[in-house]
Homo-oligomer: A and B are copies of this chain.
Amino acid sequence: MRFVIIGGDAAGMSAASRAKRNKPELQVIVLEQGQDVSYSACNIPYNIADPERKIEDLVVRSAEAFREKQQIDLRTGHRVERIDRTTKTVHGHTVDGTSFSVRYDQLLIATGARSIRPRIEGMDLPGVFVVKNLEHGRSIKDFLASRKARRAVILGMGYIALEMAEALSARGLKIDMIKPRKGLLPWLDPALSQQVRDHLEQHGVSLYDGQAIERIIAKDDHLQVVSDPLQLDCDIVVAAIGVKPNAELARDAGLPLSVGGSISVDHHLRTLDPDIFAAGDCADSYHLVTEEKTWTPLALRANRAGWAVADAVCGNPVILPGIAGTAVFKVFAMQVARTGLSAKEAQKAGFDSVSVQIKSKSRAEIYPGAQPIHVCMIGDRATGRLLGAQMVGTDQVAHRINAVAVALLAKMSVAEFCQSDLAYAPPFGPTWDPLLVAANQLVKKMPPTPR
């Protein structure tokens, strides 16, 4: 049997490796249009921050290792252009222009996502970049090495934009950030979002939200981002306004798309065509809380979905329960964590959403280094169910969110979560963890349920 995979990054290579481990006799062919496989895209901003490190350090496993150690038929420089579902064949061209066709028994589309390029004049100027793959990272590092850049403008204020703000700030640049819509991290509770805003401003970052970006122009020896009457002078522009799924191959083959244009898959990662799977940033998923389709292009999901496809192809199908929407990032010292639904998302999904905001500490009050932690926790007044949580703070925030992520997987009520036996020692938190403080407040707004 032949298992063909389009795309050689997280989902694709996870699927290929696991399929070979599951069933060594399986023929596994990976068609990757570029030369880089299995690299850590999430680390690109941190790599850019450090001029001493090479972008190639981000390659987790070389194409040769996959070929020689795992017997995966990995074909780099192979761009697939069409899927013929009738003949079960994919067609395309290699990087040197030769056409190729490969027949499949089972196919995985793992084509990932790409940066959205703002449709404005000046995006093609030297010094203007997007940041998604290794090649982008390399270009930005080469550019910074080639001149003394002093100011950067970042288009967008999502987590990649914020990570790039930290990275370029570490390189000594003054940072301006701009986005058309009002609001920094609009999925965060406003009180928590304000904490992040204050932190950025304390680190010298200027935030211009609610400012339409009109164009980028070249001025003598520098660039200017124009957003009348605002004119932001800089040496480098990085656009990080979001990503979109690479779903054209699937669409052109008649496979249905879903949220955000991602490829629609079932709990087994199957598309409408039983012989074609999709996984990773190009595919959708179910949300644990809403049980509706969602699109969450994140690394853990991509790896897990790749494994699930391999298991299905090898005859041991697993059902992925869906994603909780857990995400963390840091910008300077500020850690931001979320899982489940925000109050707004919960309302939109039809829950009788109610939330609390509390402020607690990262360590016991009197333990040196204790920092504020702000928590927002969301529940459903109708059923008492826990729907989500968000946290910000500069000390020991990120991992705390996992307690809620597991509670969402278990579909716990707020009252049940209140009884969690969470860890306590003075260096790591108050006796009642900030999450329990929030849950103890939230449960008062829940219906009295028999426990």
Measured CB to CB, the residues of A under 8 A from B are 10, 40, 42-43, 46-47, 50, 57-58, 60, 288, 298-301, 303-304, 318-321, 323-330, 335, 337, 339, 364-368, 396, 398-410, 412, 416-417, 419-429, 431-433, 436, 451
Cα of A259 to Cα of B99 in the assembled complex, Å = 75
Contact yes or no, B426 A417, CB < 8 A:
no
Assess A424 versus B366: contact at CB under 8 Å? Given A303-B431, A402-B402.
no
Assess A425 versus B303: contact at CB under 8 Å? Given A321-B419, A366-B58.
no
Contact yes or no, A405 B417, CB < 8 A:
no
Which B residues are CB-close (under 8 A) to A431? 10, 42, 299-300, 303
Contact yes or no, B300 A424, CB < 8 A:
yes
Contact yes or no, A421 B399, CB < 8 A:
no
Work out how many copies of this chain go into the complex. Answer: 2
Contact yes or no, B421 A57, CB < 8 A:
no
Contact yes or no, A420 B400, CB < 8 A:
no
**Shortest beta-carbon distance, A313 to chain B, in Å?**
17
Contact yes or no, A421 B366, CB < 8 A:
no
For A339, the closest partner residue in chain B by CB is: B421
Contact yes or no, A42 B364, CB < 8 A:
yes
Which of B324, B416, B419, B425 is A421 in contact with, Cβ under 8 Å? Answer: B324
Cα of A133 to Cα of B368 in the assembled complex, Å = 21
Question: What are some 25 contacts across the A-B interface (CB < 8 A)?
Answer: A42-B424, A43-B426, A46-B427, A57-B366, A58-B366, A300-B432, A301-B421, A319-B451, A320-B419, A325-B421, A328-B424, A328-B425, A330-B425, A398-B423, A398-B427, A399-B402, A399-B403, A402-B402, A402-B433, A404-B406, A406-B410, A409-B420, A409-B421, A410-B412, A410-B416
Contact yes or no, B43 A364, CB < 8 A:
yes
Assess A424 versus B298: contact at CB under 8 Å? Given A419-B320, A419-B409.
yes
